[in-house]
Structure 1
Amino acid sequence: YAVVHDKKIVIINKFFDLEARINALMEILDKIVVEEVLLDQKSRVFYHFLLKESLIKPAEQ
């Protein structure tokens, strides 16, 4: 995967199987600071679910 910080874009290889894509996304979410105001409602709810279930941890500012 690749993270383009200046443009706030994450690129995950579409040829990875589903589990690998999910694992890559969770690894990325553990490393970046998520600006919740930029998330739509559905993404924000999902992000809070991941935090609540301790599947990811909030990145330090």
Structure 2
Amino acid sequence: MGIFDKFKNRQAQDKARDMSDAAEKKVNDKTGNKYEGQVDDAQQRMERGMGMDRDKPDQP
């Protein structure tokens, strides 16, 4: 795996995080933040399942 493969992977993860955040915001806006905790939990589970755990430090 070359340096550009790592760059593409990081770009894809950043874009996926941005899309995940946008979806979370939209759902919270539509529901008036009534289910904010459940939406956040679902977002975190989805990201962990895709290997995008925000709490895990980035790998070099």
TM-score under structure 2 length normalisation: 0.37
Structure number having the greater helix percentage: 2
Structure (1 or 2) with the larger CA radius of gyration: 2
Structure number having the greater strand percentage: 1
